[in-house]
Amino acid sequence: MKKIIGNLLYDTEKAEKIYSYRSKRKTGSFGAVNFYSWFDIDVYKTKKDNYFIYGCPSDEYKYSLKPFIEEFSEPEFKEILKKIDPDRYTEFGFDDIEEA
């Protein structure tokens, strides 16, 4: 999948997929009620060290929701890894944490 954001082309075929996870995202609202759906999220890194995510709706929503590409930053990626996968955080070489 490809998407142009600003003047940058993000292409899942040319970038390297470096991580995958599932995330619940807001998909709509009605009055004060918000609706959320599960997405399979892949984190990509381009040759120019830009990050982006490709999100694909889970099987139960694949006919009603569309895949998407969004810009993503290294700090955003680091925060997600800190929360959901601390082992991979250190495997990626992020060394801004210390033992308690």
Instruction: Check if the beta carbon of residue 78 is closer than 8 Å to that of residue 94.
Output: yes
Cα–Cα dist 52/10, whole Å: 7
Strands 33-45, 51-57: parallel, antiparallel or unpaired by DSSP? antiparallel
Tens-of-pLDDT digits for all 100 residues of the chain?
Answer: 999 999 999 999 999 999 999 999 998 899 999 999 889 999 999 999 999 999 998 776 666 788 999 999 999 999 999 999 998 998 998 888 888 8
Cα–Cα dist 36/44, whole Å: 24
Cα–Cα dist 29/35, whole Å: 6
